[in-house]
Chain A
């Protein structure tokens, strides 16, 4: 019998619902974005995000069912992002999911947001193991090794800022609006020369990342130029910053892929939509002869389809939540197998 999971995601500033068939097929995928509401604040304001979620949540649920032309009785389970994320935001999705699951007598599955980002790839082509995932977003920079479905080993992570966070901060230095990532990416592509910024490799053999030093280097550069009364060239700064981020991310991902003899490398999270990063990773793995995939933009940024894809494997593994499920803002990525 076919499996249909209704998934809900409200961990940050997107209110999203989706219906996924057998873990791999998107039947409906609805995202209500709040970016415009947060722009004027230069970042996501948790209280405002929560207010939006409560206004949108039943609307996106209805839309997900309507687009799929399905009724609750056609569903197999309800999945929801349990963490990590903004606690007040998570709670909206979780409470809607709990009420919906209870009313319709459906099993409830609490899903890890990053597992979701990784499983977005399963909606494009089957995941093959061992698999290496580079997860880069506004809140995350992680290298995750998967030896089978439901098994996660975080082999490297950022020690300070997430890559996307560094992008947003550098964008602010360059007077670019929030969210800054796409602007830096665009500027970097318009430049031919780059301001040289350091690459942070950390200790020999480490798969961890650090971006706060790079961010400070950009701020210092701007400050020094200002003091000398010189104009910075935003394109050059953007390229210098992006080159540094991309080089470190690509090199560490490549080294990990070799060490663990992975069959597949995937990029996940909002920043994996970055053209500079995408191209560098594509080229590196083409040369290496390891299949590399990035989901399409719609599945890179936060969405519920990815939550449904991960929840399908959890459902198969017998993972179930209950009506006392709470939001877990600092939830760790642990294996369910």
Chain B
């Protein structure tokens, strides 16, 4: 089965063509280029390099979030349009799990982390090897995450470009239990995304219309509106 993988949930871009267990072509980049400009040409490039036509694609995997709202939507919009146009299944994978997959052979628990601004983070912790979830997708203040990690009381490998922002604080709280992944693992890879998608059941082809990004947060306006409603009730 020939897969197209699309990962645009955060600043880095990755797209790949994978045939069964062979990566035919992959783009991984982390340059100042918006996904709306870069993603579609990159997809064209990997399909061409693999010597394929768009119609040869048999399944699509997309990083469904969390991450930048706009970034997630660009990937999901492209993925939905491919899946719907080609009448092929679409599988969504957590962007945090995609990141963690880079370090799946590590000896430690893996914490992938994405900055959500104002000291908030998206993070999750996985077992090495199996990538089974140790801590579910977390979205909140970094301090809350560190508390949870302290309770684990085991060495944790931190992965992702945004780890830089918080690593001093992380080390301060966790000491030697905090291990920084090599920077070469920090960019998510669409091939890993596809590999994760291959382990998941293929959804029905008609389900593509209902596919939605996993923002993990409601829109700010909505949150404020709910707050206002609550105030009025009291």
Give which listed residue, A51, A57, A92, A103, contacts B82 with CB less than 8 A.
A103
CB within 8 Å for A72 and B40 given contacts A54-B77, A58-B208, A326-B34: no
Minimum Cβ distance to chain A for residue B211 (Å):
9
In the complex the two chains form, what is the Cα distance from A72 to B81 in whole Å?
13
CB within 8 Å for A326 and B37 given contacts A54-B76, A54-B212, A91-B73: yes
Q: A74 within 8 Å of B by Cβ?
A: no
Give which listed residue, B73, B85, B225, contacts A50 with CB less than 8 A.
B73
Q: B178 within 8 Å of A by Cβ?
A: no
Give which listed residue, B43, B84, B215, contacts A58 with CB less than 8 A.
B84
Q: Please list the residues of chain B having a beta carbon within 8 angstroms of any beta carbon in chain A.
A: 34, 36-41, 43-44, 54-55, 69-70, 73-74, 76-78, 80-82, 84-86, 208-209, 212-213, 215, 219-222, 225
Give which listed residue, B73, B76, B85, B219, contacts A48 with CB less than 8 A.
B219
A45 touches B86 (CB 8 A): no
User: Assuming A50-B73, A324-B37, what are 4 further A-B pairs, CB within 8 angstroms?
Assistant: A45-B219, A96-B80, A98-B40, A325-B37
**Chain B residues whose C-beta falls within 8 Å of the C-beta of A45 in the assembled complex:** 219, 221-222
Which residue of chain A has the shortest Cβ distance to B221 in the bound complex? A45
Which residue of chain A has the shortest Cβ distance to B47 in the bound complex? A102
Interface residues on A, range: 20 to 34
**Chain B residues whose C-beta falls within 8 Å of the C-beta of A61 in the assembled complex:** 81, 84
Give which listed residue, A92, A95, A104, contacts B40 with CB less than 8 A.
A95
Closest 10 CB pairs of A and B: A99-B81, A47-B219, A323-B40, A45-B221, A58-B84, A103-B54, A95-B77, A98-B40, A103-B85, A96-B81
CB within 8 Å for A102 and B40 given contacts A57-B81, A59-B209, A95-B81: yes
In the complex the two chains form, what is the Cα distance from A53 to B213 in whole Å?
12
Mark A36-47 against chain B: 1 for CB-CB distance below 8 A, else 0. Answer: 000011000101
In the complex the two chains form, what is the Cα distance from A35 to B225 in whole Å?
16
**Chain A residues whose C-beta falls within 8 Å of the C-beta of B78 in the assembled complex:** 95-96, 98-99
B37 touches A47 (CB 8 A): no
Give which listed residue, A40, A55, A95, contacts B212 with CB less than 8 A.
A55
Q: A88 within 8 Å of B by Cβ?
A: yes
Minimum Cβ distance to chain A for residue B38 (Å):
8
Minimum Cβ distance to chain B for residue A329 (Å):
12
Which residue of chain A has the shortest Cβ distance to B220 in the bound complex? A47
Which residue of chain A has the shortest Cβ distance to B80 in the bound complex? A58
Q: A162 within 8 Å of B by Cβ?
A: no
Give which listed residue, A41, A54, A62, A100, contacts B221 with CB less than 8 A.
A41
